[in-house]
Every structure is written in structure tokens, then in C-alpha cells.
Amino acid sequence: MALTVLIVDDEELIRYGLREWLHEEGFNVLEAPDGATALNLAKEEPDIVLLDFKLPDMDGLTVLQELKNRPGNPVIIMMTGYATVELAVDAMRYGAYHFLTKPWDQEDLANRLQSASELINLRISSEEQRAKQNESYSFDSVIGDSAAMRRIKSQAMKVAQTDATILLTGETGTGKEVFARAIHLASRRQGNEFIAVNCANIPDTLLESELFGYEQGAFTDAKKRKMGRIERAHKGTLFLDEIGDMPLHLQAKILRVLENREIERLGGEKTIDVDVRVIAATHQDLKKLILENRFREDLFYRLNVVPLLIPPVRDRGDDVLLLAKHFIQVLNKLLSRNVKQIEPQAALLMKAYSWPGNVREIDNVIERILILEDIGAISVKNLPEEIRSGSGVAVKGKSNGGFRPIALEDLEKEHILATLKFTNQHKKNAADLLGISRKTLKRKLDSWNIPYTE
Ligand SMILES: Nc1ncnc2c1ncn2[C@@H]1O[C@H](COP(=O)(O)OP(=O)(O)OP(=O)(O)O)[C@@H](O)[C@H]1O
Ligand SMILES: [Mg+2]
């Protein structure tokens, strides 16, 4: 499949030259003379963006950051006539894949495009394969050996044997869908369908007919009769994902399904009996939604028969590394890589990081490292900035961002001592984490009359 390149440059001649050449190389081409047009074209989801730094309406770094927030996640190659080291560092930090100085060497650009294309193809095949793997999640493949995970897994396995309605809650990326599928597979309904409905992804206007189906002629577009997803889940499991996003009028209809186990298709007269096990999930606080009149209290109690709270990764202790190693194994195979281990300092930082995106974030971080680098072991320098800098480190008992009047030197001392404590007094690890040499560390400790022992 031909990949699409978006050229963002205000100079028409440059766009022209690139366009002709890219066409010859077999790419589809989109063009933008300024930042606004580029962001507008982002909805076409280009695979690669060649982005000039100096644009008439905004600077390239802003466009870069914006593009990174849009769906599609294009590979971005920055091009500039005014290269400075700072600029290059900023561009890379904001997620640029490469940085070229104008005038560029055609062969260099060809090579970069070649490796960007490989990267995109790897990404596509890894996504496809993983989607397949996700379909067959059993409890055995739910990774986690922490006390918190062992507890929740054993609860889930027990209720899997019943037909009770389950409400899965937990932060984003904690594995709610993984649990829902594992429960289905462990239940007596496993031979029948597991039907998932994501209430947040389907537009409100379509959600009702998706759930309930319709009879021919129920509305203008209803050419043929269509079975809804609730009906398709008959004798199986219906997974209502992101239930907090379900509009109120549908909440009332779902409540009736739970109470009577029957549905009516839109435009239909007869009631149809359905035998479904319902598992609902949300990352939102339903109690809060109830107070705001956005969620029905009676539905909440109907769903909350068995509440299961999936713990965030930061409460799972060493599971972080277990999960990381699991993803390394999976991705080694998919991407033909041979990463053997995580170096101790990198592992320490990963354990200290708070992982706001939970398991999905671990997966993404490992994937990004393996796609971009062919390495034998993951070291500190491979980790993304937020993990290396410890900016996401969970601070317990302190209000984040609170100001303390403290002299710079005292702060330095406090930080160095905390780092030593964190590494169990391991001087080399501490020095590495602090980004200083062991000699410098020794000099500093000496100056505070703290003995330095290896
Ligand atoms: N314990 C686990 N072991 C292995 N993989 C896991 C585990 N938990 C989650 N994953 C993987 O992490 C990713 C996120 O999981 P999932 O989609 O189930 O999360 P979620 O809680 O439904 O997230 P969201 O709230 O964003 O919908 C998936 O790719 C899933 O395969
Ligand atoms: Mg989910």
C-alpha cells in the first residue's frame, strides 16, 4: 500500500521538487504552505510529514506538537535552514523522528524515508497481530503477580462461574477489557459470542440501533432488517465498555434489558427474549456522574452487582517489570528484535515512574524503544524523557508543586541523598541517575562531610 507524505513548506519550489520526486518514489503526496493548512490536512492521516521549521503563520515546533496530538501519529521529519543544536534537541524531544538541515542531501532523505516506511509497516503489522492476540485473553495470559493483582484475579475467576452482572472500574489502560474477555472465556458462555460495544466511540445517534437493531423501514435508511448487538450476544456475554458515556435515554432502555431480559428492535412490535451476561466497564466515577445527573442511580445499582476495581500499575509493585518483560518478549518476536534485558538503572526508573497510562503506556514505551532501536538491553538513555527525569514519579504525602523556600545547595544535597537511598547506597547507579560522574558525586559528598564508601 502506498504511503502518504505531507509536505509542509512555504516555498513553492521546494514543494514542487519534493512532490515530483516523491511521486516517482511511489508515495502519495499532500501539500501545505503553512501550519494551519497542515493541521487541517492532518485529518487525512498522512503517514509521514516533512515539516519545515519556519512557517509564515506558526513555528514548526508548534505544528509538530499539535500533530502528535492528532490521530494517526505520523512519522515527522523536520527540515530547517537554521539548524541549532537546541532546535534539534527540542524537535526530538517533541517526538520528531529525524532532523534534516537544508539544503538536504537527496540520498540522506531517501534513506530516512525508507526507514520511516519500514517503521510504519512494522507498526501496522504489530497492531494487527496484537488485535488478534487480544481476542484470546484467558486469565493465564493476564500478567501480574503482585498481591493486588492476585486478589483481583481470584475474585474475577470466581464470579466468572456465575451469571452475575459485573461492573469493572479502573483508570485508563489498566486492563478492564482484558478482564472482561478473560471472564467470558472462563465462564460457561465461552462457546458463544463475546460482543463488545464501546459507548464512547459510537455516535449517540447510531448507538441505539447498534444495540437494539431495527426492522425494515424503521427509519429512512433502514433498507433491511438488522440484528442489534444485544441480540447477537444471546447466550454469550455483552460487554458495555465506557458505560459512563451512554446517553440517558439509552440508560433507561438498558435498565429495562437488565430487569426483563428482553428487547424490542427499533420499529418492531414483538419482544425478543435475550439471555446475556452483562459486563460493564468505565474509567469514570459513576457516583460523581450520578450527582451531576448524568448517570441513572437505578442503573448503577443494577450494574454494580459485583464491582471489580482493577488497580493502577503504580499499586502493583514489581508487576511493572513483569509486564515490561512480557511486552519485550512479544515484540521481540513481532519486530524480529533481540532485546534480552532491562539494565538495573533503567529498571529502577521504570519502577519509580507512576505510569498514568498504566499497562497500555508500558506497552507503548517498550514498543517505541524496540521499533526505533536495535539494541541488546534497554538502558536509561532509551527511556522517554518523562521516565528518565522522574517527573512522573509518584510523590506520596506531599502536595505536588507546593513551593518550599530552600537554598539551591540544600536542595541539591537533599536530592542526592534521596537518590542514594533510592539506589540502596549504590554509588554508580546513583551517579548515573543524577547524570554526574562518580568522581563528582564523591566530591559533593566530601564537601558535606558525608563519608563516601564503595
Ligand atoms: N495484566 C495484563 N497483562 C498483559 N497485558 C495487559 C494486561 N492488562 C492490560 N494489558 C494490555 O494493555 C492494553 C490496555 O488494556 P485494556 O484495553 O484492557 O485497558 P482498559 O482498562 O480497557 O483501558 P481504557 O480505559 O483505556 O479502555 C491492552 O493492549 C492489553 O492487552
Ligand atoms: Mg477499554
pLDDT at 401: 44
Q: 79: which strand partners? A: 52, 100
The verdict on domain 4-132 having CATH code 3.40.50.2300 is: yes
Question: What is 140-311's CATH topology?
Answer: Rossmann fold (3.40.50)
- Residue 135 CA to ligand 2 centre (angstroms): 13
Outline which parts of the chain fall under CATH 3.40.50.2300: 4-132
Outline which parts of the chain fall under CATH 3.40.50.300: 140-311
**Full-prediction pTM beyond 0.75?**
no
Task: Write the residue with the smallest CA distance to atom 18 of ligand 1.
Answer: 175
pLDDT tens-digit series, residues 158-201: 999 999 999 999 999 999 999 999 999 999 999 999 999 999 88
- Residue 309 CA to ligand 1 centre (angstroms): 14
Helix axes 60-68, 85-93, angle to 10 degrees: 10
pLDDT at 21: 93
User: Does 396 have pLDDT greater than 70?
Assistant: no
- Could you tell me if the CB of 255 is within 6 A of ligand 1? no
- pLDDT level of residue 133 (50, 70, 90 thresholds): low
What percentage of the chain carries pLDDT values higher than 90? 55
Correct CATH for 314-388 of 1.20.1250.20, 1.10.8.60, 3.40.50.970, 1.20.58.1030: 1.10.8.60
Spatial distance between the Cα atoms of 174 and 148, rounded to a whole number of angstroms: 12
More confident residue, 213 or 393: 213
Outline which parts of the chain fall under CATH 1.10.10.60: 408-447
pLDDT at 398: 36
Spatial distance between the Cα atoms of 378 and 346, rounded to a whole number of angstroms: 7
In a mutational test of the pocket of ligand 1, which residue from 172, 177, 309, 331 has the highest number of ligand atoms less than 8 Å from its CB?
A: 177
- Residue 241 CA to ligand 2 centre (angstroms): 6
Average pLDDT (331-337) is 85
- Could you tell me if the CB of 46 is within 6 A of ligand 1? no
Lowest mean pLDDT among 119-123, 232-236, 331-335: 119-123
Please give the mean pLDDT across all residues of the chain: 88
Lowest mean pLDDT among 129-138, 154-163, 273-282: 129-138
User: Does 402 have pLDDT greater than 50?
Assistant: no
CATH numeric code, 408-447: 1.10.10.60
User: Does 217 have pLDDT greater than 70?
Assistant: yes
Ligand 1 nearest-atom number relative to CA 168: 21
Task: Write the residue with the smallest CA distance to atom 25 of ligand 1.
Answer: 172
- Could you tell me if the CB of 283 is within 6 A of ligand 1? yes
- Residue 357 CA to ligand 1 centre (angstroms): 10
User: Does 45 have pLDDT greater than 80?
Assistant: yes
Contact call for residues 72 and 45 (beta carbons, < 8 A): yes
Q: What count of other Cβ atoms lies within 10 Å of the Cβ of residue 195?
A: 20
- Residue 437 CA to ligand 2 centre (angstroms): 44
E strands present in 361-420: 377-378
Lowest mean pLDDT among 45-49, 89-93, 262-266, 388-392: 388-392
In a mutational test of the pocket of ligand 1, which residue from 174, 178, 319 has the highest number of ligand atoms less than 8 Å from its CB?
A: 178
Q: What count of other Cβ atoms lies within 10 Å of the Cβ of residue 8?
A: 29
pLDDT at 312: 95
Ligand 1 nearest-atom number relative to CA 242: 27
